[in-house]
């Protein structure tokens, strides 16, 4: 087997390192760099599983290591980002009284971290997922969360900025993301076994919509695409889903 068995784990370590760096930037509220390193971590996360299957070197250690890396990049980091977003939303009328009791409402952001940990733990013992996901994958949820500060920094839509600086909206997003991470909802995976349009129409539709929305809406397209991903999965359920353990 030689050195090739170490390639997937090396990529997973790249994911973990990217997550650690992203977390440092998140603590210092430097969200542009957070987005860069989270994107890099998700890139590594995709290709570690890809190369593990390609080289036929899947292992139980690799599965566990993958989840540990995801816990940082797609668990801790989005929690810190939401904490920072809520911290910046200072117009909470009941915040002052809570602060008097040494409680900061921004801590609610870390429920995303808790829900991500629970999902990743369940995923490692779930033998049902192969051609689809059950619940929103942690990388997709993280992309949604880290897109919010990018919209606030670079967005051109005043209504979007008003929405995403509303603390009640942010708390609602945090709670909803916790639910979606662990919901018993089947979501399609972007894996093509054939290039047939009939078998992959939902995937092709999603890719086309992604390109168009990213061109016209830029960062605002990211949360919309996550919502579209969920809606398309519900509207066009895969009737040929097979279930077995896989690497997320």
The residue that leads in pLDDT, 197 or 99, is 197
Residue with tokens 């061109």: 215
Q: Give the model confidence (pLDDT) of 188-213 as tens digits.
A: 887 766 677 777 888 899 999 999 99
Per-residue confidence (pLDDT) for residue 109, from 0 to 100: 96
Per-residue confidence (pLDDT) for residue 196, from 0 to 100: 72
Residue 229 C-beta-side C-alpha neighbours within 13 Å: 24
Global pTM exceeds 0.85: yes
Asked if pLDDT for residue 239 goes beyond 90, the answer is no
Q: Give the model confidence (pLDDT) of 151-179 as tens digits.
A: 999 988 899 999 999 999 999 999 999 99
What is the DSSP secondary-structure string of 1-23? -GGGGGHHHHHHHHHHHHHHHHH
Measured from the Cβ of residue 102, the count of other Cβ atoms closer than 10 Å reads: 6
Asked if pLDDT for residue 236 goes beyond 90, the answer is no
H or E, element range at 47? helix 31-54
CATH of region 2-235: 1.20.120
Confidence of residue 60 (pLDDT cuts 50, 70, 90): confident
Asked if pLDDT for residue 148 goes beyond 90, the answer is yes
Q: Give the model confidence (pLDDT) of 179-189 as tens digits.
A: 999 999 999 88
Q: Are 93 and 105 in contact (CB under 8 A)?
A: no
The residue that leads in pLDDT, 45 or 98, is 45
Per-residue confidence (pLDDT) for residue 244, from 0 to 100: 40
Sign of CA dihedral 156, 159, 162, 167: negative
Confidence of residue 61 (pLDDT cuts 50, 70, 90): confident
Per-residue confidence (pLDDT) for residue 178, from 0 to 100: 98
């Amino acid at each position: 087997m030689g050195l090739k068995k170490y390639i997937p784990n090396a990529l997973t370590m790249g994911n973990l390192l990217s997550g650690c760096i992203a977390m440092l930037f998140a603590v210092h509220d430097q969200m542009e760099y957070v987005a860069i390193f989270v994107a890099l971590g998700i890139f590594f996360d995709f290709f570690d599983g890809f190369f593990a299957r390609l080289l036929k070197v899947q292992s139980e250690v690799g599965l566990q290591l993958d989840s540990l890396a995801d816990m940082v990049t797609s668990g801790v980091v989005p929690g810190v980002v939401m904490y920072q977003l809520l911290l910046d939303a200072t117009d909470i009328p009941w915040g002052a009284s809570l602060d008097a009791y040494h409680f900061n409402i921004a801590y609610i952001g870390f429920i995303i971290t808790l829900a991500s940990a629970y999902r990743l733990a369940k995923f490692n013992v779930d033998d049902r997922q192969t051609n689809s996901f059950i619940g929103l994958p942690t990388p997709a949820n993280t992309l949604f969360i880290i897109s919010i500060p990018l919209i606030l920094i670079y967005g051109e839509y005043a209504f979007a900025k008003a929405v995403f600086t509303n603390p009640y909206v942010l708390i609602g997003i945090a709670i909803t993301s916790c639910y979606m991470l662990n919901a018993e909802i089947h979501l399609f995976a972007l894996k093509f076994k054939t290039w047939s349009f009939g078998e992959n129409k939902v995937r092709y539709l999603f890719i086309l919509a992604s390109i168009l929305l990213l061109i016209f809406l830029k960062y605002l397209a990211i949360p919309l695409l996550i919502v579209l991903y969920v809606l398309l999965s519900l509207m066009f359920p895969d009737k040929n889903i097979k279930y077995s353990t896989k690497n997320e």
